[in-house]
Chain A
Amino acid sequence: MFGVKTKQISNAKYNNKEAFLFLLPWLIGVAAFTIWPMIQSLGLSFTDYSIYGNTKFIGLDNYKEMFFDDRMFKTSLVTTFLYVLMFVPVKTVAALLVAKLLNKKIKGMAIYRTIYYIPSIIGAGVAMAVTWKIVLSRDGFVNQLLSHIGLGPFDFLTSPDMALGTLAMMGAWQFGSAMVVFLAALKQVPKDLYEAADIDGANKVRQFFSVTLPMISSTILFNLIMGIINAFQVFTQVSVITNGGPADSTYVYMLHLYRTAFESHRMGYSSALAWILTLIILGVTLLIFGSSKRWVYYEN
């Protein structure tokens, strides 16, 4: 870091015009596809805009409707929180444990890493959703396997008690990219910390909780936040596999937003829904950031 500033670098003078040309596509993109739509979305949320007919300004009516009249809003909110509560911890813990196992000098490490990462490559699309839907059906492969050990059959996707949990586990199954991030973090933990702990007589379990976890806590924070942001927006698998059913047990927020906007064509109301979701995600993220001062360890 030192010395860089003292050296006169070729383009270390301000050249706004040149930089502007390089940044032009991005600036257009940010203006047209981020800032302007955000402003418009906020404005729309105070109207009854639909694709047909005239638009009226209706003040806070959309928000009032959401909180006092829209039963499905509450259903979708509760469903989504339950999904997040099941998905995020399972995904994070699975990613960390497998990363921990792979971080040892172990034969076939690259092969294992590949196997555990593959679901992250292919798992998010329609194709795997279709596959899961069949594999987990009442006479599907998983129930066949379980019947051999005298269990089941389970209605993984067709019982209101199980469907949401099943979808959450299906999402957590794609823990591969979180795992790779954990692996990179684990490699950064200085070896001498473990040696010191060994000398102090700490066993492996103790070392994991007293050395490993604090040293990678900023990575845990990162993975938690990314996991939560993604979980609140779950859509593809729910839409393809259960479409909100059975008995609305998997009716997540994005499904409500999608149906309000593109089936009921209530664009104004769904813009309000979008803003509330954004505020919720922001709130939860800030809450976790706030709490992180107590549990995330930063060197220096």
Chain B
Amino acid sequence: MNEKGKKIVNHLILIAGSFIMLFPMVWLISSAFKPGTEIFGSDFKLISENFTLQNFIDGWFINPTHSFGYFLKNTFILVGVVIVGTVISSALTAFAFARLHFKGKGILFIFMLATMMLPAQVTLIPKYIMFSNIGWIDSYLPFIVPAFCAVNGFHIFLMVQFIRGIPKDLDEAAYIDGCSTFGIFLKIIMPLCKPVLFSIAIFTFIWTWDDYINQLIYISSVDKFTVSLFLRSLIDSTSSVAWGPLLANTLISLLPSIILFFIAQPYFVEGIATSGLKG
């Protein structure tokens, strides 16, 4: 086969694969705008003649006490605070590992890497007991407080790698000019770390937004429900499921991650490629 033929075959394989990657989303978008009766219809049309926005209106008000917007707001608040905590605490820790010299650094660093490999279940139950003993169940504190304590070693590691790539001459110059260590951290290193800080924020967003098991364990009252729990409640209801509104809400709940991804695509790819990463 000549070069051109090979290229065409390549494209054909990639396009076929793209179909497998995208068809659930395409179906979801298409179906969210259809009347409920057509969602399971036997002949699929990408755009129905009975195109409707009714699912979005019904879906928004499907919960008797709170609109979908309320749960979106809950989730944005939770995710936002977790991001702030994660970024600040990871930056402080990473700076210490990358730039400062202290006793036991080697061992602590290895320990930090080890916590990245530790399966989350071991600590799931004792953490639940601990948070329940101090009365944090059914609040966002079990998410927020650990975030401010840099519990995710992956972010620290990502940032340590990044800071190590920044020339030390910069620190030195600032030090000679009388800058304190904290000043170097804040005025020299952090501004240069914008890309990696952004990566950390994005990954934290996606992981917290998609998190299910922790939200399931810690949050019980509808007032504090996140999007994940709200969606789950829609298919859990014992009465028949309202498919149209469910799909409309599902689609809306995917939008923040997708929009973020398109805005920040270079940071995603960089973040994964430089550190290697769970998905």
Q: Which residues of A are interface residues toward B (Cβ below 8 A)?
A: 4, 7, 9-16, 18-20, 22-26, 28-30, 32-34, 36-38, 40-41, 44, 49, 51, 98, 101-102, 104, 106-108, 112-122, 124-128, 130-135, 137, 139-141, 144-145, 173-178, 180-181, 183-184, 219, 222, 226, 229-230, 232-233, 235-236, 239-240, 254, 257-258, 261-262, 267, 270-271, 274-275, 277-278, 281, 285
Contacts and interface: CB of A to CB of B under 8 A. Distances in A.
Contacts of B103: 14, 16
27 contacts: A11-B184, A15-B101, A19-B102, A24-B92, A25-B92, A25-B149, A29-B146, A29-B150, A30-B112, A30-B115, A107-B11, A120-B279, A122-B210, A125-B209, A125-B211, A126-B232, A131-B25, A133-B235, A141-B27, A144-B44, A177-B277, A226-B278, A235-B213, A257-B124, A274-B124, A275-B122, A277-B121
Per CB-CB distance, the 5 closest pairs between chain A and chain B, nearest first, are A29-B149, A177-B279, A10-B175, A125-B210, A19-B102
A230 B154 CA distance: 14
A97 to B, nearest CB: 9
Interface size range of chain B in the complex? 35 or more
A13 B101 contact: yes
Contacts of B123: 33-34, 37-38, 41
B17 A98 contact: yes
B13 A101 contact: yes
A32 B149 contact: yes
Given A29-B149, A33-B146, A11 B101 contact: yes
B269 A126 contact: no
A168 B24 CA distance: 16
Given A25-B148, A32-B149, A229-B119, A106 B11 contact: yes
Interface string B160-177: 000000001001101110
A34 B277 CA distance: 21
B212 A236 contact: yes
Given A15-B181, A130-B250, A274-B121, A141 B44 contact: yes
Nearest to B18: A115
Given A101-B10, A126-B232, A37 B121 contact: no
Contacts of A262: 217
B57 to A, nearest CB: 19
B139 interface: no
Contacts of B72: none
Which residue of A29, A104, A117 has the most chain B CB atoms within 10 A of its CB atom? A29
Interface in B183-202: 184-185
A30 B115 CA distance: 9
Interface in B114-160: 115, 117-130, 132, 146, 148-151, 156
B273 interface: yes
Nearest to A226: B278
A293 B3 CA distance: 38
A22 B172 CA distance: 19
A150 B263 CA distance: 42
A114 B258 CA distance: 11
Contact of B129 (A40, A235, A240): A40
Contacts of B228: 125-127
Contacts of B274: 184
B222 interface: no
